[in-house]
Amino acid sequence: MNKIMEIAARNLLRYQRRTLLTSMLIVIGVVAVLLFVAITGSFKQMMVGQITDSMLGHAQIHRRGYVASIESLPLNMNMPPAMVARVTKALEEEPMIEAVAPRVKFGAMFSNYTETTSVRVNGIDPETEVKVTPLLAERQLDGERKGPLLKRGEMLVPVLVARGLKVQAGDTVVLIATNKDGSVNGKNFVIRGSLESATGPGGRDSYIHIDDARELLRMAQPDVSEFVVRVKDAQKVEAVSARLAESVGGLTNKEGRPMLEVHPWQRLSPFANIANMIDMLTLAIKVMLVSIVLVAVMNVMVMAVYERIREIGAISAIGTPPSRILALFLAEGLMLGVLGTVVGVLLSLGAIYALNIWKITFAFGQQQGLLLAPAIAARDVVVIAGMVIVVAILASLQPALKASRMDPMTALRHV
Amino acid sequence: MRLVHAKNLTKTYRAGDVDVPAVRGVDFAIEAGSFVAFVGPSGSGKSTLLNMIGCLDHPSGGALTVLDTDVAKLDRRAAAEFRGKNIGFIFQDFNLIPVLTAYENIEYPLIMVQNWPPAKRHQRVTNMLQAVGMEAQAHKRPDQLSGGQKQRVAVARALVADSKLVLADEPTANLDHDTAYRILELMKKMRGELGTTFIFSTHDPKIMREAEVIFTLEDGRLLTSKNHE
């Protein structure tokens, strides 16, 4: 085998320029794919992180039908204490969960006593909320940032609402809400600070303490609108969500239908479609790489066989088994693939390292100066390298088979 | 001992819709250790005969046994194995492997065709290089060798794996007079040392003079056979 590899290497060196050009094509392809995967992967990871860590969490649990009518934030679809206890038990039994936070959500009128606008209010437990959405605190633009995210009687308002109504940290405002029974109630809050929107200018989510929310809504019992879940491994959100859905699925209504729904973030945010598009683009560029390698290597190997027909005839005539002739040409394809891949991977890793040193920043929604940190998983490198090498061998297969099946007498007569 | 035996051997090629007979019912026998030449004008069928003896081509009819093997029955794989074990080839155009040195070209059949252990292989190749007078050029590649030197390497390659039969198709056609003579002497010497049977197809009067048996062919028929001894 060593001799076959050695002869294959010498044959490649015999046509140095052609070998170099083909290897360069493979190198360019490998670099393009690895850089694309690294940059888009880190972009996707950052965007997903921004959305999940500052607002959505990794998954949410609601009463069935709540998400479908989420625009009206229906209070009659909150989870009552018995249901809350059932969900809490299921969450405690799932080992992959890192943190859980309850929320009470409702629509309210926000007034500075002279002007009024509508807001979406999230009643949160500040201690658990920062565990499920660790970037939420970083979105606070002004006001007191030390200590807990919120105290009772305080409110975090979206920056655009604060600007529109000309309120700032320390100002007193009033929230007016209609409770489940239809009665209206109001409560004063002090602005703790304004919040940068995670999703763009339309963001109207404001935050108050969950106990204030229940008081404002005059809840007779501690209902919960949603549970926000953070899992230990963000890659396993869908698997954990599926397990949770199964464990809370036993809670059914009179018709026997499950009363609860578990939604991973992908089903709550339109950004999941953008993430899917990034995956599709990655797949497309991988297909392009495969095509480049296939065409480049096959072209070289077809030429190699054509130019060496007499040589093939001679080695066949002296008794070289067809399997060894096949191996000889496959080895040449393998070496081209390995050479291009190794150089391509090294260049890509160097480029990724350089991009991390130069620190590329970009804006997303209202957020400026997000730092892009391209990174590539060892698994991705191995998969792409393996793919290129396998394709190089496959591209050599047809010419190699042709060489191994060549009639020696015809080959020896070839001019 | 008969090494090659042909009885009513025929070979017909198909050219479009026309059958072209290349060998027409020839009978001959070649003894082991002999120095044999097939002679005749171009198209007389001598190369076709050599190809059939060398298992590179199948007879269309008749019987052909080489080393007691009915070579007509060998498939592609078996024919390659048979050639690798028993037959050496010397070509008019040398057909050495360009990327290998003289040493490696001679070594090639012992690695790629047979599977000799390294120490035994080295000893054998060194002996063959000495036998053909190419020790000094052992590490040169074919493009650094003269025509005569290339043919010496080809002779060594044909004999290195203890071939019982060497087939040489016009081995001196691309060599000048003196070189051709020296190559012929070399082959006779190797035959003397190793007892290998040499079969040539040739136009070269030198080979004809040196051959012990000459088969003359014309239009695919064996006209005469002459034994110089």
> How much is the pLDDT for B42?
86
> How much is the pLDDT for A252?
76
Phi first, then psi, for residue A164 (nearest 5°) are: -60, -40
- The two tokens of residue A258 are 């499950």
- Residues A365, A366, A371, A375, Cα dihedral to 10°: -30
Q: Can you tell me whether residue A170 is helix, strand or coil? A: coil
CB contact under 8 A, A317 and B112: no
Give A198 or A12, the one with higher predicted confidence: A12
Upper half-sphere CA count for residue B112 (Cβ side, 13 Å): 33
> How much is the pLDDT for A73?
86
> For A146-179, how does the pLDDT look when each residue is reduced to its tens digit (9 = 90+)?
889 999 999 999 998 999 999 999 999 999 999 9
CB contact under 8 A, A318 and B98: no
Q: Can you tell me whether residue B91 is helix, strand or coil? A: coil
CB contact under 8 A, A317 and B56: yes
Phi first, then psi, for residue A408 (nearest 5°) are: -60, -35
Q: Chain-centre distance of CA B191, in angstroms?
A: 12
pLDDT over 70 at A142, yes or no: yes
Q: Could you identify the residue written with the tokens 């972009």?
A: A43
Boundaries of every domain in chain B: 32-58+74-227
Q: Can you tell me whether residue A38 is helix, strand or coil? A: helix
CB contact under 8 A, B97 and A320: no
> How much is the pLDDT for A264?
93
> For A81-125, how does the pLDDT look when each residue is reduced to its tens digit (9 = 90+)?
989 998 898 899 889 999 999 999 999 999 999 999 999 999 999
Boundaries of every domain in chain A: 2-50+273-413, 65-258
> How much is the pLDDT for A199?
59
Block means of pLDDT (10 residues each) for chain B, length 229 residues?
90 88 92 90 89 92 93 90 92 88 92 88 92 91 92 90 89 80 82 87 82 90 74
**Partner-chain residue, chosen from A14, A314, A319, that has the shortest CB–CB distance to B84:** A319
Write the CA distances from B5 to A19, A408, B200, integer angstroms: 49, 23, 16
Sheet with B165-169, side-by-side order of all strands: B87-90, B165-169, B197-202, B35-39, B213-218, B221-227
Give A341 or A235, the one with higher predicted confidence: A341
CB contact under 8 A, B113 and A317: no
**Ramachandran assignment for B162, one of left (phi > 0), alpha (psi -120 to 50 degrees), beta (any other):** left
> How much is the pLDDT for A367?
64
Residue A366: pLDDT band with limits 50, 70, 90: low
**Partner-chain residue, chosen from B93, B98, B112, that has the shortest CB–CB distance to A3:** B112
Which residue is closest to B111 within chain A, CA to CA?
A3
Residues in chain B whose Cβ is within 8 Å of chain A: 51, 54, 56-57, 76-77, 80-85, 87-89, 91, 93, 95-100, 108-109, 111-113, 157-158
CATH number, span B32-58+74-227: 3.40.50.300
- Compute the distance between CA of residue A352 and CA of residue A357 in angstroms, rounded to an integer: 9
pLDDT over 90 at A402, yes or no: yes
Which residue is closest to A328 within chain B, CA to CA?
B112
> For A308-337, how does the pLDDT look when each residue is reduced to its tens digit (9 = 90+)?
898 899 999 989 989 999 999 999 999 999
Please give the DSSP secondary-structure letter assigned to residue B145: S
CB contact under 8 A, B95 and A313: yes
- Compute the distance between CA of residue A84 and CA of residue A127 in angstroms, rounded to an integer: 18
Write the CA distances from B20 to B11, B13, B47, B60, integer angstroms: 9, 5, 15, 11
- Compute the distance between CA of residue B160 and CA of residue B17 in angstroms, rounded to an integer: 43
pLDDT over 70 at A202, yes or no: no
CB contact under 8 A, A409 and B98: no
What pTM was computed for the model? Answer: 0.74
Contacts of B33 (CB under 8 A, 6+ apart): B191, B195, B196, B197
pLDDT over 90 at A400, yes or no: yes
> How much is the pLDDT for A10?
83
Contacts of A111 (CB under 8 A, 6+ apart): A117, A173, A174, A175, A176
Give B146 or A364, the one with higher predicted confidence: B146
> For A264-310, how does the pLDDT look when each residue is reduced to its tens digit (9 = 90+)?
998 888 788 888 888 898 889 888 888 888 888 888 889 888 988 98
DSSP string computed for A194-224? EE--SS-TT--EEEEEHHHHHHHTT-SS--B
CB contact under 8 A, B91 and A311: no
Select from A52, A61, A80, A53 the least CA-distant residue to A243.
Answer: A61
Is A288 in CB contact (< 8 Å) with chain B? no
- Compute the distance between CA of residue B122 and CA of residue A51 in angstroms, rounded to an integer: 70
> How much is the pLDDT for B229?
55
Q: A327 to chain B: which residues are within 8 Å by CB?
A: none
Select from A116, A224, A216 the least CA-distant residue to A165.
Answer: A116
Upper half-sphere CA count for residue A298 (Cβ side, 13 Å): 13
Among positive and negative, which fits the CA dihedral A194, A199, A202, A206?
negative
Contacts of A386 (CB under 8 A, 6+ apart): none
What is the overall mean pLDDT for chain A? 89
pLDDT over 70 at A80, yes or no: yes
